[in-house]
Amino acid sequence: MLDELFGHVPGAYTDARKPRPGRFATAGGGTLLLDDIQTIDLGTQKQLLQVLDRRTYSPVGCDRVMTVACRIILAMTESPDALMKNGVLLKDLRYRFGECGIRIPRLAERRDEIPLHAQRALQGCPIQTAVNGPTGFTDAALAFLCACAFDGNVRQLQGIVLRAYLIAGHSGAAQIGVEHFPEECRSDLCYTRHGNPDVNRRAVERALSLTGGNARAAAELLGVSRTTLNAMRGVRLERRTGFR
């Protein structure tokens, strides 16, 4: 990692015959993003302290001091305090960037963006796979995606769309439907025939909410008939009004 970040000079170690500039040098006066900072070993993190403090570093195998001209952005998957507590983020490094952190909400907290990310992922599928496939999603499919947890954020969404694209394309479908998504993606849309009435009722209410009250799309989303959906809606109405 030191070699990748700071570069090296010839003879720095075995087989180091040519100089390597390193990330800080190649970044020039631009911006260098150090992603997943928590995966960098603590020894390398100590070297980063000098970069942040003095804006200088030395390539591996060289005493010459180089000046850092780029802006540095550190990215991590968890809060810095949590990483520090777990011992994977150096305390001194955490204190260097103080309160300058920006928290990017998980995709599950930005559900209104899911259709946009899904459409963008779908547009890239023909290029990525060199295979022609569906060009859009059904309303129920988009509602399904909006209900997913997406613990893996946008990357997980992209993978699910790619998989659905291939499955739908193989079946000749013009659009990606709910049936093309894996069952494990379902969150609170678990409708089970003869299952717990309260669980099923919540699933119906959630499906109707996601589809804007569209019964056809809600039924497709749950994988049930409109007759079943309407029956569940009738039960909900009956309980609310007190009718028997």
Using an 8 Å Cβ cutoff, are 163 and 129 in contact? Answer: no
Give the model's pLDDT for residue 148: 79
Q: Where are the domains of the chain?
A: 2-96, 107-185, 197-241
Encoding tokens for residue 189? 């849309």
For residue range 178-210, list pLDDT tens digits in order: 889 887 665 556 666 766 777 677 778 777 877
Give the model's pLDDT for residue 84: 92
Which one has a higher pLDDT value, 187 or 38? 38
**CA distances (Å), origin 219, targets 186, 210, 226, 228:** 14, 11, 6, 8
Q: Which CATH architecture has domain 197-241?
A: Orthogonal Bundle (1.10)
Fold match, 2-96 / 107-185: no
Q: Is the pLDDT of residue 47 over 80?
A: yes
Q: What is the CATH number of domain 2-96?
A: 3.40.50.300
Give the model's pLDDT for residue 185: 67
Q: What is the mean pLDDT of residues 92-106?
A: 83
Query: In this prediction, what percent of the chain has a pLDDT beyond 90?
Result: 36
When the candidates are 1.10.8.60, 3.40.50.10300, 3.40.190.10, 3.40.50.2300, the CATH number that belongs to 107-185 is 1.10.8.60
Using an 8 Å Cβ cutoff, are 108 and 142 in contact? Answer: no
Spatial distance between the Cα atoms of 181 and 168, rounded to a whole number of angstroms: 9
Helices (H), the chain: 2-6, 23-27, 42-54, 80-85, 91-96, 114-129, 139-147, 153-171, 197-210, 215-222, 226-241
Give the model's pLDDT for residue 242: 42
